[in-house]
Amino acid sequence: MFRSKVTGTGSYLPEKVLTNFDLEKLVETNDEWIRERTGIERRHIAADDQATTDLAAIAARKALAAAGKTPQDIDLIIFATVTGDQVMPSSACVLQHKLGCRPIAAFDLSAACSGFVYGLSVGDQFIKSGMYKTVLVIGAEIIHRFVNYKDRETCILFGDAAGAFILERADANDPNVILSTHLRAEGSLGDLFLLPAGGSKIPLSQEVLDQGLHFVKMKGREIFKNAVRTMSAVCTEALEHNQVTSDQVSWLVPHQANWRIMEAVANHFDFPKEKVVSIVHEMGNTSAATVPVAFDTAVQDGRIQRGQLILLTAFGAGLTAGSCLIRY
């Protein structure tokens, strides 16, 4: 069996910034409440002429450059998103064309905020099986276009971003590989966090638009509790599976939804807060993009180094959750 390794990462945050003070002008909220309850200070918002694959293409080119690869080298694109350019064709196919790849396999993966960790797992399996050697995994979202800026419980949370990893088949004796991935879903809790309309169940209509069913709906407190419960469980699973203790892990890179959630997950297995990579203050919750963007930020600023053990984890609508232990 082959193993896969992360050979390059890249990320992109759109230029336009929406601060807590900007949101004070839109809904009844304030900077202090948002910072204390979530840790978020600002989010980045895509320009009107940008689609999700435009953000993804920038992140993908950076990841390719970091890996010393060209679009011609990619064998498979896995595009994790719930805010793709359109229902069809998939964003992965649009991105394949934008990057100028060969006629390789390309598909979207829908697991909401856990999408990138799911994507890493799928990419890892394709490399392990020997089917592909080089896989581009993307997490990208323009979620602000699905958020109601009259709903203070959701609009303060979300922003837009893209992150990308290049996975490659590792040399036989290379210790720096993806060690394991752990995925789960609990569909019975799907109503806690959803975007009700726009699919086959509730097609778009004027009535749907008037009722705001095309926007994200969330039961915040319930989602909070389940996020801590499930991310703690999948992190424990990853550590136990690899017989690793938390003090051997250099960095935890969790889904960036709320600093208090990340802190609670770290506390669950006595992991020091200083070793949690968080940029939630800078970008808010960017769904499938949070994990690769946070990871790439820590690679760029030198925190994440080759040879370190890194634990990634995410949680999202579904309810989905996942973890991935990497020796980087």
116 binds ligand UT7 (CB under 6 A): no
Instruction: Identify which range of 87-95, 152-160, 170-178, 233-241 contacts ligand UT7 by CB under 6 A.
Output: 152-160
Which one of 46, 223, 311, 321 is in contact with ligand UT7 (CB under 6 A)?
A: 223
Q: Which two tokens stand for residue 117?
A: 């960790």
Active-site residue among 113, 155, 235, 324? Answer: 113
Binding span for ligand UT7 by CB under 6 A among 31-39, 60-68, 180-188, 204-212:
31-39
The residue from 152, 217, 241, 303 that contacts ligand UT7 (CB under 6 A) is 152
Our CB check for ligand UT7 shows the closer of 67 and 288 to be: 288
**Which residue in the list 20, 226, 258, 285 is annotated as catalytic?**
285
Neighbours of 12 (CB within 10 A): 25
Sign of CA dihedral 288, 127, 133, 298: positive
Total chain residues near ligand UT7 (CB under 6 A): 21
From 13-21, 67-75, 153-161, 268-276, span contacting ligand UT7 (CB under 6 A): 153-161
- In the bound state with ligand UT7, the residue whose beta carbon lies nearer, of 126 and 215, is 215
Residue 150 interacts with ligand UT7 (CB under 6 A): yes or no: no
Cβ proximity to ligand UT7, 246 vs 258, nearer residue: 258
Question: Quick one: which of 33, 146, 149, 269 contacts ligand UT7 (CB under 6 A)?
Answer: 33
Scan residues 272-291 and list those touching ligand UT7 (CB under 6 A): 285
Name all contacts of 265-273 with Cβ < 8 Å and 24+ positions apart: 265/227, 265/228, 265/231, 265/232, 265/235, 265/313, 268/228, 268/232, 268/235, 268/236, 269/232, 269/235, 269/236, 269/239, 270/246, 271/246
Contact present, 136 and 107 (Cβ < 8 Å): no
Picking from 232, 272, 298, the residue whose alpha carbon sits closest to that of residue 6 is 298
Nearer to ligand UT7, 147 or 177 (CB): 147
Here the contacts of 236-239 (C-beta below 8 Å, separation 24 or greater) are: 236/268, 236/269, 237/182, 237/323, 238/179, 238/180, 238/182, 238/311, 238/313, 238/323, 238/324, 238/325, 239/269, 239/311, 239/325
Q: Is 214 one of the catalytic residues? A: no
**Is 268 marked active-site?**
no
Find all residues with CB under 8 Å of 77, minimum gap 6, and list them: 92, 95, 96, 101, 104, 105, 106, 107, 135, 136, 138
255 a catalytic residue: yes
Catalytic residue among 44, 182, 255, 258: 255
In the complex with ligand UT7, which residue's Cβ is closer, 116 or 165?
116
Which residues participate in catalysis according to the annotation? Answer: 113, 255, 285
Q: Which residues bind ligand UT7 (CB under 6 A)?
A: 29, 33, 37-38, 113, 152-153, 156-157, 193, 218, 220-221, 223-224, 227, 257-258, 261, 285, 316
